[in-house]
A = this chain, B = another copy of it.
Amino acid sequence: MCELLGMSANVPTDICFSFTGLMQRGGGTGPHRDGWGIAFYEGRGLRAFHDPNPSIDSPIARLIADYPIKSKVVISHIRQANVGQVCLENTHPFSRELWGRTWCYAHNGQLDPGLFEWPLGTYQPVGTTDSEYAFCWLLGEIRQHFPTPPEDSQQLVEFIHSRAERLRQLGVFNMLLSDASSLYCYCSSKLAWITRRSPFGQAHLSDCELAVDFAAVTTPNDIVTVIATEPLTCNESWHKLAPGEMVVFFEGEVQAHRLSPASS
């Protein structure tokens, strides 16, 4: 299994604090020694860092933890390999272009090998993971159904949710997906989020001796949502998603919310 970390904010925000917590799980407090990656949107651009080495040993991970890259949407992943060997092309997050936007995706879980029989459209995997195959399938489905972006964004939310539900039938499919604006978070087994806004308090990382006083690093108008497979802090109350639940964030706020028909 792997760990996911996402962020949606209304102002460019650095994720150093949460990333430091996640990195500890990359061979420190967790077993996820098979690479890590992080992607930051900056406007429509995507800045991605991948490393097939454990995050705890990685000079690139240390650079990111120390150097505050500010972004409104971030997707990060650390990996414990199950399907696909440990190599760069199998390292999340994955990205592809659709409608002139760079879509970025990371997956936690494992899917039945039957997945590899599902026909693909425009997008072909570069590596050999079930995760990237699922991404190519999902994005191909979106592209086929919506050759151009739908005017009603709710249609897109419904569609992505329906396809995520299909993937969940093949196993565990916790997913973070973004088009540079919205952050689609689908829960199959575990995903939790917290929105921080004024008045900001102090947070303590569960995985290492680090606290941050958000009041000191934010302005009163900042709204910052962090989402992760497991809560990253020990003194805050995180919302846990139910299996089949999808929450979409935009500028740090909940934009849409879908439950599985099975669980609603």
Give the interface of A toward B (CB within 8 A).
Answer: 42-52, 59-60, 63, 67, 87-91, 96-97, 99-102, 122-127
Given A42-B87, A45-B90, A47-B50, output 20 extra A-B contacts at Cβ < 8 Å. A43-B87, A43-B89, A44-B89, A44-B127, A45-B50, A45-B87, A45-B88, A45-B89, A45-B126, A46-B88, A47-B51, A47-B88, A48-B48, A63-B63, A89-B102, A96-B97, A97-B123, A97-B124, A101-B126, A122-B122
Looking across the interface, which residue of chain B has its beta carbon closest to that of A40? B88
Contacts A45-B50, A87-B42, A89-B44 known; A124 to B99 CB distance under 8 Å?
yes
Looking across the interface, which residue of chain B has its beta carbon closest to that of A128? B44
Looking across the interface, which residue of chain B has its beta carbon closest to that of A41? B88
How long is the Cα–Cα vector from A47 to B48 in the complex, in angstroms? 8
- Interface SS majority for chain A: mixed
| Residues of B close to A67: CB separation below 8 A | 59-60
| Residues of B close to A127: CB separation below 8 A | 44-45
Looking across the interface, which residue of chain B has its beta carbon closest to that of A66? B59
| Residues of B close to A126: CB separation below 8 A | 44-45, 97, 100-102
Looking across the interface, which residue of chain B has its beta carbon closest to that of A101? B126
Verify A88–B123 contact, CB threshold 8 A. no
A139 to chain B, nearest CB (A): 10
| Residues of B close to A60: CB separation below 8 A | 63, 67
- 8 smallest beta-carbon distances between A and B, as pairs: A45-B88, A45-B89, A100-B124, A42-B88, A44-B89, A44-B126, A102-B126, A63-B63
How long is the Cα–Cα vector from A124 to B100 in the complex, in angstroms? 5
Name 23 interchain pairs, CB-CB below 8 A, sorted by A.
A42-B52, A42-B87, A42-B88, A43-B87, A43-B88, A43-B89, A44-B88, A44-B126, A44-B127, A45-B90, A45-B126, A45-B127, A46-B88, A47-B49, A47-B50, A47-B51, A48-B48, A59-B67, A96-B97, A99-B124, A100-B126, A101-B126, A122-B122
Contacts A59-B63, A67-B59 known; A91 to B124 CB distance under 8 Å?
no
Verify A91–B45 contact, CB threshold 8 A. yes
How long is the Cα–Cα vector from A168 to B158 in the complex, in angstroms? 45
| Residues of B close to A49: CB separation below 8 A | 47, 49
